Amino acid sequence: MNDHQLLRYSRQIMLDDFDYGGQQKLVDAKVLVVGLGGLGCPVALYLAGAGVGELWLADFDKVDLSNLQRQIAHTMSDIDRPKVISVSEAVAAINPDTVSQCIGEKLTGQFLLDAVKRVDVVVDCCDNLQTRLEINRACVELKTPLVSGAAIRSEGQVIVFDSREATCPCYQCLYKDVAAIEDLSCANSGVLSPLVGVIGSVQAIEAIKLLSGFGKSVAGQLQIYDAKTSEWRKLLLPKSPACPVCG
C-alpha cells in the first residue's frame, strides 16, 4: 500500500487484530456481489470504502423509481440506467482505488462458474430463489465462501456458508424442501427501507472477516433480525447428510 492508502484505511489498520496485514488482504481481494438492489448497494459501498481491491458487480436490471426507497447507491438521475453502471460509479466516487468489473447479464451455468472462479468471496444479494440455489452450487463446487442475505417486510437474515470447512452446511441444507418455499419479493410483499441497510452491512462485515482473517466467521449460524423489536436470533444450522449439493 502507498501512503495515500495507509491514510485512507488508517482507522481500520489501527485495530489490534486487523492491522496492516488485514488491510493488505482486503486490497488484494476480489469479491463477487450478485444483485445490486437493497442489499447489494450497501454491500458494494462498504466493501469499496473498506478497501476491497476488486468488486465484480452482477445485475441485469435497470434502476426504477420504486427502487430508490431503499437502494441507496442509485439516485433519480440513474432511473432507467443499468444498475451495474450506477453502482460502479458510486463505488468509484467513494474509492477510486477499487476496481469494478460489471456483469450486466444473468449469471448462470458456466458463466456463473467462471465468475466465481475469479473471486475470493461471493456475496449473494439477489431476490430470486433459483438464482440463490445456483450460486450455492457453484460455491460448493469451487469451495468459495458464500455470504447470503435476505430481507422482506420487517425481517432479515444473514448466514455464511464456507465449503472449505468439512462440517459447514450449504444453502440447500437450510432449505431442504425447495418446492414448498414461497419465493417472496419486495415487489409483492414490501420491505422496510433501513432493514436492507442493516442486513447488507452485516453481509459486508462477514465478507471482510472472511477476506482479512479479522474476528470469527459465523459460518453455519443463521442470524435473523426482527426490525419491529430490534432483536437478533441465532440458530445453528447443521450440515445435512442427505443434502444433494454438499452431503
Q: How do the domains of the chain map onto residue ranges?
A: 3-236
User: Which residue numbers in the chain have pLDDT < 70?
Assistant: 177-188
128 CB-near residues (< 8 Å, 6+ apart):
183, 185
Q: What was the pLDDT predicted at 118?
A: 97
- pTM, two decimal places: 0.94
The whole-number pLDDT of residue 141 equals 96
Coil vs helix vs strand at 172:
helix
State the pLDDT at residue 128.
86
Q: How high does pLDDT run on average in the chain?
A: 93
Q: What is the pLDDT of residue 180?
A: 47
- At residue 177, the pLDDT reads 60
Q: Return the active site residues.
A: 186
Determine contact, residues 39/66, Cβ cutoff 8 Å: no
CATH class of the 3-236 domain in this structure: alpha beta
